Amino acid sequence: MPWGSFSSPAPRSATPSVAVLERIALREPEDEEPDLHHLNDSLQILATIFPDIQPEVFRELLANVSEESRVQIVTESLLKHRAKLVRGRYRQPQEREVPSFYKYRAACTVDSRGMPLAMEDRFRNESYQAAVKTALYEEFKGLSRSTIRAVLAEYNYSYTQARPTLLNLASKSWRFSFTSLIKRRKAPSSTDHPLITWSAPEPRLNIPARPVLTYTENAELNKELYDTLVAPVLARMEAEQIVRDRALAEQLNEAQAEEAGDMYDCGCCFTPCTFEQLSVCDDGVHYICFRCIRHSVNEALYGQGWARNINTERGTLRCIALATNGTKECNGCLPLSSIQQALATEPNGEETWRKLHERSTTSNLIQSGLPILKCPFCIYAEVDEVYLATQHLKWRLKNRGLLVLTSAILFHLLSIPAFRGPFRFLVLFTFLFITLNYLLKTNIQIFAPLIESRKRLARKSLGLRFSCLSPFCGRRSCISCHKEWHDIHICHESERQALRTAIERAQAEAIKRTCPNCNLSFVKASGCNKLTCVCGYQMCYVCRQEVGKEGYRHFCQHFRPDPGKPCQECDRCDLYKMEDEEAVVRRAGESAEREWWENQVKEGCSLWEQGRKGVRKEQQTTGTTIPSSLRFWERAFWEGLLDQVVDTLVVA
């Protein structure tokens, strides 16, 4: 049977196919209600105005004001009572540049200005909330519905983010364990999702089992689940299938070539290969197999063979054929198209090809000698516009009248005998200095400070933000401090202050509770575990269950001879005792600190070299840090003064 053909069409199944289910799951979400659409537009405007504040703050404020002038009211409130309303809920720099559709997916590094907020940060419609609650009620039958609603309120009804917390609560719930034991129900797991089933494989058609989404009644939830659970698995399966197909095709092609006698020897390793696996140098005399090409490129990039294997003038691989029988080494090169084709057959071929191109470009830029601006996060570079603008400077005064006035004052001073002697000495000294400077082998750059001042002024007019145009990076950075650019950017901002903010925020998030009725967030400072919100909603601080009807009966009522020990008669929540809050806060702080340090290492922060121990000791003793820029305050002062003089007198 020919490759890729079938003996008979597959029979139709009475059940809906996988493709039909996927189309149903991925149908376009319904249009938002007018008021909800207006709320999300207002939320986007506020997030643009205040990029350093979490969207949770905006949602709380927008939900409590009328539709008329809601953006203006919230903006004015934040400007007047920022600390009181925000309560430490600030966004970290890494969060500000996450334009991905769902924030919990892999972060993208493309500029996010003007892009919509992540779906989990926006106001959710009633249909989505109802579908999420229905799905979680069905999965976590051992948990009370008030507990599920409280957790959903904490995560803005995000299904994907609320489910891990509910799994953790379910594993600690005695009620859920008892119900699962009686009904022999399988406990929920983070790996086995209840809404994902696997289709039966079809070995005859070489079709493996595929994940199928059990779609809900809400299209937005279906798309969220499909993008996070099904799409990555299908993409991985497709990539694996492509690799298997390529290997099988090469095997069949090689068998046919051997049978027909169409094999050629490589000029480097002398291995017989098919014509499709060979490249010819531009001299037209040597055949090089793809395997040798890949080895040579990898040696050039990751070893010591760059100068030997790469022709930097042409940006391609030299001919690596071995010289035999006294022949000279070949001076030819291999075409770039063949190199790209050879690298495409290995798993990381695209990345290797990109690195080869970047390395070659960098080498050419260095050899050009032009002043360049480089992206601190990748190899991208471009010629400095300020350098091009200052090549042909024209020194012209802004005010010609000022020149006339200065000349008149100078001539008036020369009429005074007391000023004639110093003026003659100044003219003679200037003449001798210029003459001697001209005769020296290494001239003193007399006008260098003025030229540098013009460059600084030109840089200031163009701005310090550098946008990388590489399709693989696209990040923005600061030309001055070489750190990632975020709106409201401050150069040399204290990294220790950022670390402290990240730890405090993570610790506050770990003990925060949110009312499912009014979405108000709060933290218990003292008292019992029966909490009453300002809206009247009552909940348990430990399990988040609603206790409005049963009140204090929700908590353990038995006498304990040994206070502080668990009750031996029931598993109810304690009225005053709760989980070790200090341990929760400590774990959250350690996790946030570890993530912060990892991000600093990725960004190449020099603070990592100082060590965690020294940083913590300095923070504990002083609490503040001295910016490194203050070490050069004298130079900066005089440069700033010169810049002001040049900016006042000279035309840009």
The DSSP string of 584-626 is HHHHHHHHHHHHHHHHHHHTT-GGGGG-HHHHHHHHHHTS---
Position 222, amino acid:
N
CA 51 – CA 639 distance, rounded (Å): 33
Position 403, amino acid:
L
**Tokens linked to 299:** 């040696």
Going by C-alpha positions, the residue among 441, 509, 451 that lies closest to residue 90 is 509
> What is the CB-side half-sphere exposure of residue 233 using CA atoms within 13 A?
15
Which stretches of the chain score pLDDT less than 70? 1-32, 92-116, 173-192, 284, 323-328, 387-400, 402-403, 437-438, 440-447, 492-498, 564, 578-579, 600-638, 647, 649-652
For 312-356, strand residue ranges (E) read 316-317
**Tokens linked to 369:** 């000698």
| pLDDT at residue 620, as a whole number | 44
| pLDDT at residue 97, as a whole number | 43
| pLDDT at residue 239, as a whole number | 86
CA 3 – CA 10 distance, rounded (Å): 17
Q: Which residues pair with 531 in a beta bridge?
A: 539
Assign 396 to helix, strand or coil: coil
| pLDDT at residue 397, as a whole number | 64
Assign 485 to helix, strand or coil: coil
CA 114 – CA 407 distance, rounded (Å): 54
Residue 539 Cα distances to 87, 278, 474, 533, 548, angstroms: 22, 72, 46, 8, 7
> What is the CB-side half-sphere exposure of residue 629 using CA atoms within 13 A?
9
Residue 228 contacts residue 102 (beta carbons within 8 Å): yes
Is the pTM of the predicted complex or chain greater than 0.75?
Answer: no
CA 545 – CA 170 distance, rounded (Å): 13
| pLDDT at residue 578, as a whole number | 64
Phi (first) and psi of residue 621, to 5 degrees: -85, -45
| pLDDT at residue 92, as a whole number | 61
H-helix or E-strand containing 287? strand 287-289
| pLDDT at residue 109, as a whole number | 42
CA 230 – CA 237 distance, rounded (Å): 11
Exposed/middle/buried for residue 290 (C-beta within 10 Å: 0-12, 13-18, 19+):
buried
CA 609 – CA 160 distance, rounded (Å): 37
| pLDDT at residue 50, as a whole number | 85
Going by C-alpha positions, the residue among 53, 50, 44 that lies closest to residue 114 is 44
| pLDDT at residue 392, as a whole number | 60
CA 523 – CA 533 distance, rounded (Å): 11
CA 499 – CA 599 distance, rounded (Å): 11
Residue 264 Cα distances to 20, 269, 332, angstroms: 49, 12, 19
Position 99, amino acid:
P
320-343: string of b/e by CB count within 10 Å (b at 16+)?
A: bbeeeeeeeebebbbebebbebbb
Residue 135 contacts residue 159 (beta carbons within 8 Å): yes
Phi (first) and psi of residue 498, to 5 degrees: -65, -40
496-518: string of b/e by CB count within 10 Å (b at 16+)?
A: bebbebbbebbbbbbbebbbbbe
Cβ atoms within 10 Å of 83's Cβ, excluding its own:
8
Residue 41 Cα distances to 37, 145, 385, angstroms: 6, 31, 38
Tell how far CA 482 is from the center of its chain.
17
| pLDDT at residue 17, as a whole number | 45
Residue 385 contacts residue 462 (beta carbons within 8 Å): yes
Residue 238 Cα distances to 105, 200, 268, 491, angstroms: 20, 17, 35, 45
Cβ atoms within 10 Å of 286's Cβ, excluding its own:
20
CA 66 – CA 73 distance, rounded (Å): 9
**Tokens linked to 253:** 């092609």
